[in-house]
Structure 1
Amino acid sequence: MQIISIVVPCYNEQESIPLFFKRVDQIMTDFDRHREQYQWEYWFVNDGSTDDSLKQIQILHAQHPDKVHYVNFSRNFGKEAALLAGLKSAKGDDVAVMDVDLQDPPELLPTMIETLAETDYDVIGTQRSDRQGEPWLRSKLSSAFYHVINHISQVQIVPGARDYRLMRRSVVDAVIAMPEYNRFSKGIFSWVGFKTKYLTFRHQDRVAGHTHWSLKQLLSYSLEGIMDYSEVPLSIASWLGGTAFVAAIIGMIWIVIRALLFGNPTAGWPSLVAIILMLGGLQLLCLGILGKYIGRIYLETKHRPQYLIKDKR
Structure 2
Amino acid sequence: MDTITVVVPCYNEEDVLKNFYAEITKVASEMQKVKFEIIFIDDGSKDKTLDIIKDYLKLDSRVKYISFSRNFGKEAAIYAGLKAAIGKYVVIIDADLQHPPRLIKDMYYGITQEGYDSVAAYRINRKGENKIRSFFSKIFFKLASKITRLDFRQGEEDYRMMNRKFLEAVLSIKEKNRFAKGIFQWVGFNVKWIGHENVNRVAGESKWSLFKLFTYSIDGIIGFSGIPLIIVSVIGGVLCLIGIVLGILLVIKSLISDANISTSLILIVVSILMGGVQLFIFGILGQYLGKSYLETKQRPLYIVKEEKILDNKEIEIDGEVKVQI
The bucket for the TM-score relative to the shorter chain is over 0.9
Q: Distance in 1 between matches of 2:261 and 2:124?
A: 62
SS in 2 for 1:257: helix
The alignment partner of 1:106 has SS state of: coil
**Segment of structure 1 superposing worse, 251-260 or 194-203:** 251-260
Instruction: Tell me whether 1:106 sits opposite 2:101 in the alignment.
Output: yes
Map of 1:117 onto structure 2: 112
Shift in Å at residue 133 of structure 1?
0.4
Q: 1:52 aligns with which of 39, 48, 55?
A: 48
Matched with 1:187 is 182
In the aligned structure 1, how far is the partner of 2:303 from the partner of 2:286?
27
Gaps of 5+ in 1: none
Q: Note the aligned Cα RMSD (angstroms).
A: 1.3
CA distance in 2, matches of 1:169, 1:89: 12
Which string of whole-angstrom CA distances, capped at 9 and with x for unpartnered residues, describes residues 240-273 of structure 1?
2111211122122213322332258352533431
Which of 264, 272, 277 aligns to 2:267? It is: 272
CA distance in 2, matches of 1:288, 1:109: 42
Paired position in structure 2 for 1:307: 302
1:238 lines up with 2:233 in the alignment:
yes
What secondary structure does 1:27 align onto?
Answer: helix
CA contact (8 A) 2:122 2:195 kept: yes
| Residue equivalent to 1:20 | 20
Q: Which amino acid in structure 1 is aligned with residue 156 of structure 2?
A: A
Tell me the TM-score normalized by structure 1.
0.95
Aligned residue runs from structure 1 range 78-157, under 5 A: 78-157=73-152
The one of 70, 73, 80 aligned to 2:65: 70
Larger mean CA deviation between 270-279 and 131-140 belongs to 270-279
Contact 2:145–2:151 at 8 Å: present in 1 too? yes
Q: Give the alignment partner of residue 203 of structure 1, picking from 198, 215, 237.
A: 198
Give how far 1:31 is off: 2.7
Distance (Å, rounded) in 2 between the aligned partners of 1:159 and 1:252: 46
State the TM-score, normalized to the length of structure 2: 0.92
Contact 2:254 2:261 (C-alpha < 8 Å) held by counterparts: no
Q: Secondary structure at the match of 1:83?
A: helix
SS of 2:31's equivalent? helix
Q: How many angstroms does 1:167 deviate by?
A: 0.4
CA distance in 2, matches of 1:187, 1:257: 52
Contact 2:43–2:74 (CA<8 Å) still a contact in 1?
A: yes
Give how far 1:52 is off: 0.2
**What's the secondary structure of 2:194's corresponding residue?**
strand
Give the paired residue count: 308
| Paired residues of 1:28 and 1:110 also in contact (CA < 8 A) | no
- Specify every segment of 5 or more residues in structure 2 that has no aligned partner in the other structure, as ranges: 309-325
Amino acid at match of 1:25: T
Residues 252 and 271 from structure 1, CA distance in 2 versus in 1: closer, same or farther, beyond 3 angstroms? closer
Deviation at 1:127, TM superposition (A): 0.6
Decide whether the 8 Å contact of 1:125 with 1:165 is kept in 2.
yes
CA distance in 2: counterparts of 1:248 and 1:268, whole angstroms: 15
